[in-house]
Amino acid sequence: MRGIRPIRTGPFRERTRLHPPLHPPRHPPLQALACGRRAVSLLAQTVFRPAAQRLHWWPLAHRLSKAMTRRSNIRAVHTDSGPEHLTAPRVMAGTQKGRGSAQVRNPAAPSAAAPSASIVVISPANEVLLLRRIQNGTFAAAHVFPGGNLSSFHEDGLIPASDSAERHVDGPAYRLAAIRETFEESGVLLARPRGTSRGDSAGEPAADERLLLQVPEDIAGAGRKQVERKEVRFVDWLASVGGEADSDGLIPFTRWITPPNLARRFTTQMYLYLMPLAATATGMKATADQTEVSAAECASAATWVQRAQRNEIILFPPQMYILALLAPILGRSDGQMADHAGERQRLAELLRQGSGPEAGQAWAELVISPRMLARLPDGRTALRLDQPGPELRNSGRTGDLHRVMVVGSTSSGSPRDVQLQSRAEVLDAIRAAAAAQAVRPEGKTRL
Instruction: Give CA–CA dist 376/408, Å, rounded.
Output: 10
Length of the chain: 447
Helix or strand run (H / E) with residue 250 = none
Between 67 and 153, the more confident residue is: 153
Phi, psi dihedrals of residue 77, rounded to the nearest 5°:
-140, 160
pLDDT band at residue 70 under the 50/70/90 scheme: very low
Please tell me which of 234-243, 276-285, 434-443 the model is most confident about, judged by mean pLDDT.
234-243
pLDDT > 70? residue 262: yes
Q: What is the pLDDT of residue 82?
A: 31
pLDDT of residue 101: 44
The mean of the pLDDT values for the chain is: 78
pLDDT for the residue 248: 94
Q: Which residues pair with 296 in a beta bridge?
A: 131
The residue type found at 342 is: G
Domain range list for the chain: 8-63, 94-353
Where residue 36 falls among pLDDT bands split at 50, 70, 90?
very low
CA dist 98 and 101 (Å) reads 9
Class of domain 94-353: alpha beta
Average pLDDT rounded to a whole number, residues 182-208:
81
Provide mean pLDDT across the span 29-57: 40
Exposure of 61 in the CB half-sphere (CA atoms within 13 A): 6
pLDDT bracket for residue 117 (50, 70, 90): very high
pLDDT (tens digit, 9 = 90+) per residue, 377-416? Answer: 888 999 999 999 999 988 989 999 999 999 987 666 678 8
Which H/E stretch holds residue 2?
A: none
Supply the pLDDT for residue 337.
Answer: 84
pLDDT at 440: 60
Taking a C-beta distance cutoff of 8 angstroms, is the pair 371, 91 a contact? Answer: no
Residues 423, 401: contact at Cβ < 8 Å? Answer: yes
Contact predicate 186/296, CB 8 Å: yes
- Mean pLDDT for 246-265 is 93
* DSSP letter string, 23-70: SPPSSHHHHHHHTSS-EEE--B-GGGHHHHHHHHHHHHHHHHHHHHHH
* Closest CA relative to residue 174, chosen from 260, 271, 293: 271
One-letter amino acid of 301? A
Q: Tell which wins on pLDDT, 255 or 431.
A: 255
The answer to whether residues 126 and 344 touch, using CB atoms and an 8 Å cutoff, is yes
Query: Is 97 in contact with 148 (CB distance < 8 Å)?
Result: yes
- In this structure, the strands spanning 191-193 and 367-368 are unpaired
Q: What pLDDT score was predicted for residue 291?
A: 83
